[in-house]
Structures are given as C-alpha cells and as structure tokens.
Structure 1
Amino acid sequence: MDSNFKDEVRPSIRPPDNIVQGSSSCIKDLLNTIQKVSQSPYPVYIHGPTGSGKEWVANLLHSSGLNPDAPIMDINCSTIAEELIESLLFGHVKGAFTGAHQQHDGYFSLVKNGTLFLDEIGELPLHLQPKLLRVLETGQFRAIGATHNQNFKGRIVVATHRDLEAMVEANTFREDLFHRINVINLTVPPLSQRKEDIPFLIAHFALEQKKTFTDKAISLLTGRNWPGNVRELRNTVLRMSILSESSVIDADFIHQTLLKKKETLEEAARKIAEQILCLDTNNTLALIERTLIQQALNETDGNKQAAAKKLGVHRKTIERKLNNYNEVFNNASTLVIRADAYINNNQYYKAIELLREARAHVIRMPDLVDIDRLRTTICIKLGTCLRNIEGWASEEAISCYEEAHRVSLRIGDTSELSLALLGIWAAELVKLNLSNANETALRFYQLGIDTNNDAILASALMTITNTTFWTGELERTSAALEEYFFFRQLRSEMSKQTDFDPYPICLEFKCVVEILQGNFAAAELTRTALVAYTLRSNNDFVKVTGQHALVWIAHLMDDKHSLQEQTDKLLSLSNRSDFSFYNGFGHIFSGEHLSNTCDYHTGQTMMVEAFNHKMHPEDGRIFSSYFHIMRGNCQRQNNDWDALANTIQEANEVIELTGERVFKPLIMLLEAQMMLHRTQEDDAIYLLDNAWQLAEKQNLRFMLLKISHVWLNHPSLLNHNQWDRLQYLESSFSETDFHPNLTELRNNLAD
C-alpha cells in the first residue's frame, strides 16, 4: 500500500502562472476577496467549473496567508482509490492493517501549519466525511490504528466543480460538513463570464512559448466558446505554438488549424448548453424554458401562436406553461400573505409551516428577478420566525439567510441583502465566531455607506457595537454608539420583515458600557429610555429582547428588587410566546437567586439546565463568560470551592477559544478569591493587581469597584499604593453616581 502514495498524490502545488489574472470585474472582485481572507485561519470553499483555476486560487491563498513558508499539499479526492484516502490523509501506525509494515505520516501531519488543499471534495467518500468534520470541529485527528489524537495546526482549503448544496439535498454529501467548509466561499468564474480577459491570457500563454499572436488572431480566439475554460484556452495556445513554424501566429493559421471545420447544429447547441450549465441557478431547466418562452413572445409582440411556431410547439403548450408558472407564483405569494397575518399575531409556528411551503414552491421556479425577489422575502421571513423560536443559531434559519444573501447579491437588492447580512452576522456572533462577525459587520457598514441608507447604517452600527463589545474593544464600541446616537442621530425604526429594531439593542449596549465604565448616573437615564421603549412596543419579540436587556442591566447595577421584577416579566413573556433562548436567560437569573437564598444545589441545576438546553448550545455561547461569572459567584458564596475551580477553568477556556475578553478581569477576580480561601495570598495579590491593571487600561471602573470590594474585605493585604488607588478611584465618580459597591468604597474611605 505504501508504495502507491507517491504516484497517487501531488505533494505540493505549483501555481499555474497567472491563469486567473485579468482586468474583468469578476476577477478583480475575486482577487480582492482573496486578499481580505488570506490572513484568516478559517476553511475556504472554492467552487467553479472545470479548468477555471481553482488550484491557482488555493495556491494564492497560501502564498498570501499567515504561513507562506509552510508546506502546501494537494490531494485530488476524485483520483485516489477509496481504500487509500483515509491512510493518505490521516496516516497509519505500523501493523494497522495488512501491508502496513511501517508507520506512515498522513497529510494532516505533514502539512504542519501550512495549507491542505482537498481538490474535488465532492468525491470524498461518505464514510470519511465525519472524520474530516471532526478535524474541522476539534482541530485534532487520529492515525489509523493509533490510540491518541494529534493536533492539526494548518488551514483546510477545498474545491469542487460540483454543486455541493444539491448533493446535500440528495444526501450524497453531509450537510454539517458542508456548513463547516463553507465558512469562506470563493467562486472562480468560467471564461464565458470574463471574455475581456482572453486577449491578456492569450498573450501571456504565447509569451511562455516565445510566440506572438496578431490582433486578428486574438480576436478570432476571443469570439470562440471555451467550455473547458482557461485550461482549454491554454492548451489551445500551446498546441498552435507547437504546430506553427513561425514566431508570429496570424488569423490564417488559426483558420487552418482550429476553425476549418464548420460547426454542426448539434455542436453549436452543445456549446450553448455548456455555457448554460455554468449559470449560478438552482433550477437551470426551468430558467431556460421560461426565458425561451418570454424571448419568443418578445420577438412576436406577445403573439402566442407566432411564439409557439418559433419554438416548434403548440400554442396550448405555451399557455399551459405560463399558467403553471403564474399559478405557482400566486400560490407562493398567497402563502406569504397568510404567514404575515400569523407573524403579526406572534404565531410563529403557524407562519413557519406556510413559509416552508412557499419556499418549496419557489425553489422549483426559474431564477428570474420577480421570483428571486419573492424568494428572498420568503427566506428572510422564514429565517426570522425560526430565529424567534429556535434562536439566532438555528441551522435552518442560517440556511435561509445564506440563500437570501446569494439571491439578493445576484439581483442587486440592497435592502434584502442588508437583512440577510443581519441574520448571518447574528449567527456568527452568538456562536462567538467573532472574527467572522467583525468582517460581516464591516461589510454591512460599507453597504450602508455605499447606499447612503439610514436604516442599513443603523443596523450596521448596531452590529459593530455588539461585536466590538464582546471582543473587549470598548473604544470602538463607544465610537459606534456615538455615531449612532449623536453624529447620525438615528432613532427607532422597526423592520416589518424581520421584527427587528436596532435602537433598543444600541440602548442596551450604551447602558452596559456606561455601567462598566462607572458612569452610573448616565446609565440610569439610558435604562429609563429602554424601559419606556419596551413598554410602548406591541411586538412580543421586541418586548422580550427589551426585557432581556433590563434583566442584565439590573444585575450589573446590583438592583435586586428590579432584577426580580424584570426576571419575572421576562419569564412570563417568553413562556407565552415560546421564546426558548430568552426563557433560558430568565431561568439562569432565577437559578442564581435560588442558589444564594434558599436552595443552592437546586439553583445550580436550574442555571446549568437553562444554559445548556433552553438557551440552545450555540446561542448560549454569547453569554458564556458572564454565565460562568454568575455561577462562580454562587459557588464562592456557598463555599463550593472545587466546583468554583472547574468553573474558572471552563471560563478561561471559553475566553481562549473565542477571543471574548470583556469580562476577563472578573474571571481573574474569582480566581483571586479562590486563592485567598486557600491562603495563597501572594498568588491572590498577583491576580488582583493584574485584574486591576487590565480593567484600568480599558477604564472599566465597574470592575475596579468589584476588585476594591475584595481588597476592603482583606485589609491586611492593603498597602499604601493600593489605598492610593482606592482613593483615586472614589474621587473619579460624581456625586450623582450610585452603585452598592461605590457606596461601600465611600463608607470605608470615610472611616
């Protein structure tokens, strides 16, 4: 078996010399996207027709990436015998199977921190797809016959000319693997979509052979169809360069060698069919049928009889097909209208049934503009209903937003595009894919700038506010909020399609940032505005998101009376409308109250059950670090120190994995309190100093007050430097600022 490896794979990729260069807009867009994503470690999915240059794109991604000097290795999944692929990818230990006479390192090991390019990923056997999925999810793999895992530190790039989404529908490719590899999507266009690049490519390929083509020769070649794309063009130039004895190849020579045979009708039709099959559409046959009928009607001034004659069919055939098209379109439109009525009454389950049916109707229809507009509307509404019930991380909701994104890009509908971007961003955020969420937020903002659309800019600024808060970039958060409220003076505007208004979320984060920075008086004013907004809304989803914010704010303000009241309201509203995520959020705070008042173990169980099940494992990630802080404080107050140690470890792992750092000082504070319990005072002082410096660097006076509380409860640890710190902190607050920890600090300093 080992002896076959060298013949079956290509150990490294050689760049195919500028085959994707050119001046066309689609190539410029592709190169621009490559430049943007090359520094990212995430998987890349390259798709495009055979011969278009997917391998070149993979090589450029690597050479422009984080580790250009590391290996790049290529395996073509369609050319390797099925029984060899697993060993080739993962490696094997000696004796793992018959013929395994020595250990063999697989490509996941050999590529180190470089790039592994899996070409024709659609041909990867189904039974190996879960193993590739595990590598993508965990960053680990296991050689055949081995007993331990190895870490994979490289980047995976995949490519195919096949339609993976269609394969997912046909159950020939795993849906979960598709979503994992489809993090960054690059489309390499066929040559038919970039004809203006053909003269450049001909000149480039000819120069390699020390030949020159005349302008007329280039014009002849440019006018031809190239179903084999750049590869066919390059081979043609190579063949003519070899056959020509002259250094200059003219039009006559091309006629003699390439064009002397007149195309038959069947050959011409085949070439047209090849171009049609390259179109980005879900229903090619329906699109061409509808387009042919419409074109025939246009050319005959709407005369169905004459149009039928042009198409070689009976008039009734055209009428039947037009009636069928109109019937399906009208049925789908009616289903959307009926779904809207349910949405307006917060009956999302019933709306979902109707919208799924409408989506099934339009998928069978051709990709024409009026149908595409209806399709994006259906996807946005369905994604919104699923989001309300299942949370932002709902896989079906994400697929709806991604479909709406593709279609709206194709038809240039910026309004629908912005709604799709909102759904995609939210899914990335709640899963704490913060790098992707940041990129999407910036694209969103650029769309708002390009269109000069206040509604799009409002949502975009909300996404920037939210993302930068969780990454701990509070200066960017404050700048986005300032642009929203003061520079642009944006106000509440509800989207009827998505039940979404960025205004209360911006109010929420404005209030939270004010609390964290210790501007408590300003935070109270913002909280009052948020309460008023929530009370006057008639939309259950808007109300529940407002209540969610008010619960969190009351907890940060240590306002126990308001916290209990707002939590009860949140649980009542989320139960009534079956908003699982927000119901779980409310139960976490109820569990904390139970833990600290009467039944610690029942309260802890309630908190964990709510976080792991009600909030949805993916959606709950966005609240993960704060949840661990809440749970850790309960464990500390109830002297459950072993459990606290585990909670601190889990919290640090979350921060390390996701980059969510805003609450890092409070995690360090919990760890310092555990050290004090263990009488490890030196370690505790070190952690308290580091937590103070980290919070002070970001002007997080709220967290400085929390650290002060610990110092004040252990006065023997205080030195003059720390007393000076506490006095300076107290003096930085205004007389109108109020917080229980601030009152404690003032009283201790007064004594």
Structure 2
Amino acid sequence: MSKHYALVIDDERDIRELLTLTLGRMDLIVDTAATVSEARQRLGERRYALCFTDMRLPDGTGQEIIALIAAQYPETPVAMITAYGNVDAAVDALKAGAFDFVSKPVDINVLRRLVQTALKLSEEKRSEQTASSSKLIGDSAPMNQLRATIGKVARSQAPVYVAGESGTGKELVARLIHELGPRASAPFVPVNCGAIPSELMESEFFGHRKGSFTGAHADKDGLFHAAQGGTLFLDEVAELPMHMQVKLLRVIQEKAVRPIGARAEIGVDVRILSATHKNLARLVELGAFRQDLFYRINVIELRVPPLRERREDIPQLAGRMLERLAHDGGGDPARLAPEALQVLLGYDFPGNVRELENILERAVALCENNRIGVEDLRLQPREQGAAEAAETWANTPTPQAPSSIPSPPAESRAAPPVAALGDDAPLRGLPNDLAAAVAETERAAIMKALEATRWNRTAAARQLGLTLRQLRYRLEKLGIE
C-alpha cells in the first residue's frame, strides 16, 4: 500500500505538532510549513493527498493557499483551519475551493473523519485522471491513429490545434495531450472563448490590478497565470475578436502578460492548445482570423474524426454510454435491439458523439423493459435545404494540413494580410457563376435563420455560427434590409 502525504500549514508550532502526531497515527507522512512561501515550495516538491492551512499566516492568508491549490493542484483536497465560531471565514474558505474546514481547538474525532473523506476524494480525483485515456473509446483505424498521434504530440511543447466538428471530443483530446505530457502535474485550464464578453476578455486572460478600472476592487490573476507551468486550452478559438487575437499573438511570442493597470509584464510558462469546430484556415481566407496567429497556434494540427468516419466504434460507444446511464440511474443497462443498432450504424450523426449520447439518453427514458427499439431512437431525417447549405458553407473543408506547418514566408510574418470584414475577400478569385451560387446559398440560409428567429439578428447569428458583426456585414453585402 502506497503512503499518502499531507501538508500542514500553520504558523503556530503547537498546531503543527498536534496535526503531525494525529495524522501520523493515521499512516500519513506529514510535511509542515509556517508561511505561504514555504507552502508554495512544499507544494512544488511533491503531490499531497490532502492539505490543511490556517487562515492567517505571517506573509499572507490561507485563501491564497486555497486559490493556489485550486488552480495548480486541483487533485489535492484542502481544508481550512479556522478560529472557533468563525463562520464567515469557513464560508469564505468553502467558496474559494476548500472541501471542508476544521475549527480550533481541533477535535481529534472530527479531524479523523475529515481526513478519511479527504483521502477518498483525492483517490477519486486521481482515478478520474488515470481513467481519462479510457474515455477515448473505439478501436477503429482512425481512433488508433489518433491515440498514436496524441502520444507523440504530448511529449512536445509545441502549440497544438485540435480540429474537428462539434461533439467529436476535442476537449477530451486536449486533456489527454496535457495528462500524457511533462506538464501533467500542473494545471489544465480550459476556456470557452465564445463565452467571455468581449469587453471582459483582456481582464479574464491577463488579469488586472486594483483600481485599474471601475469595479476593479482587488488584484485579479488571469487565465494565463492560473495555467502557469501547465496548459491553457482555448476552446472555440475562432470566436476571439480581432483585438484579442493581436494581444494573444504578442503573449505567445513574448511569453509574458501585462495585467490591466500593471506597469511591467509578467513572464508566463504555458503551453497553448486550441480548438474550434469551424474551418480556421477558411476564416483566415475570409479575413476573420489573423494569419500570423493561425501559424502560431497551428504548429501541429490534430484532427479528431467525426463519428460517421468510424462507424465501427458505435456499438462500443453505445454500450459504454448505456452502462453509464444505468449507473447514474441505479438500474440495469438497457440493450439495443439489433434493428435499432443497424439504424444507428446508418445514421450520419451531425452532432457526433455528443448527439449519440443524447439519443441514447432519450431512448432509455422512452423504452420498455430495458429494450431500445427503432421507435425509441426517434431519429428524424436531417433538415435539407438552406440550413444544411449554411452548415456546409460555414464548415467548408480545406485540404488536410500537414501535421507540422512550416513558418510563413518572411513577408507574411512581417505584414500578415488581415482583410477587413467589409471587403470582398470571400468571393475574390471565384468564377462569376460560382460566386453567384455561393451568394445565393448565403442569402437563402440567412433569410431562413432570420425568419426562424423573427428577425432577431443576435439569435440568427448564433444559429448560423456567425458573430453579430459578421452577420451585419453579410446583410449589407447581400442587400438584405
């Protein structure tokens, strides 16, 4: 049985000795620290199964320790040691990410129960990380090739661009790259670039200093700081507005960030992984994504295959999903009737693995006697016409990029061609009849989306997979009032 390590952070020697003695009797090896700086050093030296920290320390607070552990060592449960009756401190600790708290004077029985819970929590988190590679289900040739490629790129520190349709599992692939690489013990910080308001992006990514703008009541670290030493995963990177693309490019080049209101830059050591369901190369052609940033984040391209290209994995995927659904519901797994499985094997799955999971969850709720028939799947033919044309246009395939993309010519690096949204880049170089056909397809798709959303432009843009600015440009260009 492997030994578990615990870290006790308290500036009172008596408390450190009491906890060391008590935890030692529970077969834990205990390290101690009296300050925040000592705690940082200890945390960097080994992994701990649990941590206890006092609220007030000579050079900082326990809240700093909790925030540090939550960001960089999320597999380590941390408990706050609070003064007796200090409910506010306990609540603040829990909000900051502590899993529990213990009051002074320390009750030995309470401490033992807390330790047992913490060790169980720590084991569960590590088991989740160890099992993450098994979540990449399938023995088809595309999946075996994907696993082999992940193993290779994980050893590198080069930026990786994970390409793939919506629902294929791009974030899972990014997590595996992180967990199989040398940064596995450091944080993996995922961020959905499309979910952050444009006006808050700089603060979220780079942080800010107290008083730097209205509402900045305290210093705040950004996502780059949270990912220090680890991996920052930029999901839906195509949604970054142009001003953030420029700033992100500089951070990648200089390996430093400047928080809003700060006078100096702060060095960062972060590996960048990115992904989007959109065709990023096509967006570069359209002028909606900077070419120089594209080359920086796309040093290695890793394509996640859609489900329709690995249909032989569907039975295994479905079986695993039905087992999980049964475990969550507390019953026996449902079984697919042979004819239902044949229907799934013949379906195109525009939503990929995520859609398969949704279909099965619905079927489990509808089926009788734990047997899923064709009628329980409730698959509908895909809607044809303009909406499908819009999807095809938005995700127009381009020739497969090589796994390693060379640097662009010097003239491209010096002055990357970034077209304004108002020019005619999308149709330049096309024959007149093809340009007219593309324009007509765009018009039909946009009109259908506008009608479906009662001419709500924001909702229509979301439905089309465009930003509001891109939709406005196309409305003007196509003469749609």
For the aligned pair, the TM-score class normalised by the smaller chain equals: 0.5 to 0.7
The reply to whether residue 183 of structure 1 matches residue 299 of structure 2 is: yes
State how far apart, in whole Å, the 2-side matches of 1:48 and 1:158 are. 11
- Structure 2 counterparts to residues 652-691 of structure 1, below 5 A: none
Shift of 1:140: 0.9
User: In the alignment, residue 239 of structure 2 is paired with which amino acid?
Assistant: E
- Is contact 1:47-1:188 (8 Å) kept? yes
Please state whether the residue corresponding to 2:358 is helix, strand or coil.
helix
Query: What's the C-alpha RMSD, in Å, of the aligned pairs?
Result: 3.4
Q: Deviations over 1:292-331 (max 9, x none)?
A: xxxxxxxxxxxxxxxxxxxxxxxxxxxxxxxxxxxxxxxx
Q: Which amino acid aligns with 2:210?
A: K
Is the contact between residue 340 and residue 377 of structure 2 (CA under 8 Å) also seen in structure 1?
no
The one-letter code sitting in structure 1 at the alignment partner of 2:284 is V
Q: Which residue of 1 aligns with 2:370?
A: 247
How far apart are 1:225 and its partner, in Å? 2.1
Measured after TM superposition, the shift of residue 397 of structure 1 is 9.4
Give, in whole Å, the separation in 1 of the partners of 2:272 and 2:378.
41
String of CA shifts for 1:198-231, please: whole Å, max 9, x gaps.
Answer: 1111111111112232333222211122111111
Shift of 1:20: 4.0
Contact 2:168 2:304 in 1 (8 A): yes
Q: Matched residues in 2 for 1:98 and 1:142: separation?
A: 18
Residue 199 of structure 1 corresponds to 315
Cα gap change, 1:278 to 1:219, in 2 (>3 Å) = farther
The residue identity in structure 1 corresponding to 2:209 is V
| Structure-to-structure mapping, 1:87-126, within 5 angstroms | 87-126=203-242
Does structure 1 residue 213 correspond to structure 2 residue 336? Answer: yes
CA distance in 1, matches of 2:158, 2:319: 36
Matches within 5 A, 1:162-561: 162-210=278-326, 211=333, 212-249=335-372, 251=373, 254-259=374-379, 263=381, 267=383, 281-282=397-398, 394-395=409-410
Higher RCO structure, 1 or 2 (CA under 8 Å, sep 6+): 2
- Sort the Cα spacing of 1:276 and 1:23 in 2 relative to 1 into closer, same or farther, 3 A: farther
Alpha-carbon deviation of 1:182?
0.7
The amino acid across from 1:226 in the alignment is: F
Whether 2:257 is the aligned partner of 1:134: answer: no
Match of 1:145 among 261, 268, 283: 261
Query: Residues 269 and 127 from structure 1, CA distance in 2 versus in 1: closer, same or farther, beyond 3 angstroms?
Result: closer
- 1:60 match: secondary structure: helix
- For 1:258 and 1:81, the matched residues in 2 are separated by 37
Q: Which residue in the other structure is 2:64 paired with?
A: none
Q: TM-score, normalised by structure 1?
A: 0.34
The answer to which structure has the higher helix fraction is 1
User: Given the superposition, is the C-alpha separation of residues 274 and 82 from structure 1 closer, same or farther in structure 2, using an over 3 Å criterion?
Assistant: closer
Cα gap change, 1:17 to 1:32, in 2 (>3 Å): closer
Distance in 2 separating the partners of 1:274 and 1:233: 23
Contact 1:49 1:278 in 2 (8 A): no
Residue 21 and residue 277 in structure 1: after superposition, are their counterparts in 2 closer, same or farther (change >3 A)?
A: farther
| Unmatched tracts of structure 1, length 5 or more | 1-5, 283-366, 377-386, 399-751
Residue 47 of structure 1 pairs with residue 167 of structure 2: no
Contact persistence 1:206–1:213 (CA under 8 A)? no
Equivalent pair of 2:292/2:412 in contact (CA under 8 Å): no
Distance 1:56 1:155, change over 3 A: same
Structure 1: how far apart are the matches of 2:389 and 2:139? 26
- Structure showing greater Rg: 1
How many angstroms does 1:247 deviate by? 2.9
- Asked if the contact 1:227–1:275 (Cα under 8 Å) also holds between the matched residues in 2, the reply is no
| CA deviation string 1:632-691 (max 9, x = no partner) | xxxxxxxxxxxxxxxxxxxxxxxxxxxxxxxxxxxxxxxxxxxxxxxxxxxxxxxxxxxx
User: d(CA) in 1 for partners of 2:290 and 2:141?
Assistant: 33
- Determine the C-alpha separation between the residues in 1 that align with 2:408 and 2:383: 49
Query: 1:272 deviation in Å?
Result: 7.7
Aligned equivalent of 2:196: 80
Return closer, same or farther for 1:112/1:176 CA change in 2, 3 Å cut-off.
same
Q: For the residues of structure 2 that align with 1:52 and 1:155, how far apart are their CA atoms?
A: 22
State the distance in 1 between where 2:376 and 2:408 align: 61
Q: Report how many residues are paired.
A: 278
Change (3 A) 1:142 1:217: same
Residue-by-residue CA offset, 1:606-657 (whole Å, 9 max, x unaligned): xxxxxxxxxxxxxxxxxxxxxxxxxxxxxxxxxxxxxxxxxxxxxxxxxxxx
Q: Helix, strand or coil: the match of 1:131?
A: helix
Distance, in Å, in 1 between the alignment partners of 2:139 and 2:247 is: 41
Distance, in Å, in 2 between the alignment partners of 1:71 and 1:55 is 15
Partner secondary structure for residue 104 of structure 1 = coil
Q: Aligned partners of 1:52 and 1:70: how far apart in 2?
A: 26
Counterpart Cα distance in 2 of 1:202 and 1:134? 44
* Counterpart in the other structure of 2:79: none
**Consecutive unaligned residues in structure 2, runs of 5 or more:** 1-66, 75-124, 327-332, 414-481
Task: State the shift of 1:269 in Å.
Answer: 6.1
The AA in structure 1 aligned to 2:167 is G
In structure 2, the partner of 1:57 is 173
* Alpha-carbon distance change, 279 to 217 in structure 1, aligned in 2, over 3 angstroms: same
The alpha carbon displacement at 1:277 in A equals 6.3
**1:13-28 map, 5 Å:** 20-28=136-144
Deviation at residue 396 of structure 1 after TM alignment = 7.2
CA–CA distance in structure 1, aligned partners of residues 170 and 215 of structure 2: 35
Give the counterpart letter for 1:90 in structure 2.
F
201 and 271 in structure 1: CA distance in 2 versus 1, 3 angstrom threshold: farther
Which amino acid is 2:318 matched to?
I
Q: CA deviation at 1:117?
A: 0.6
The structure carrying a bigger strand percent of its residues is 2
TM-score by length of 2: 0.52
Letter in 2 for 1:234: E
2:182 aligned partner: 66
Deviations 1:151-207 (A, max 9, x none): 111211110111222221222111111110011111111112111111111111111
**What amino acid maps onto 1:229 in structure 2?**
N
The Cα of 1:42 is off from its aligned counterpart by 1.3
Cα–Cα, structure 1 residues 20 and 271, in superposed 2: closer, same or farther, change >3 Å?
Answer: farther
> What letter is aligned with 2:313?
D
SS in 1 for 2:234: strand
Contact 2:360 2:377 in 1 (8 A): no
Structure 2 residue identity aligned to 1:214 = A
2:94 corresponds in structure 1 to: none
Distance in 1, Cα, partners of 2:228 & 2:281: 30
- Contact 2:209–2:216 (8 Å) recurs in 1: yes
| Paired residue type of 2:371 | V
Counterpart amino acid of 1:36? K
Residues 268/202 of structure 1: CA separation in 2 closer, same or farther (3 Å cut): farther
Distance in 2 of aligned mates of 1:271 and 1:108: 38
Change (3 A) 1:270 1:174: closer
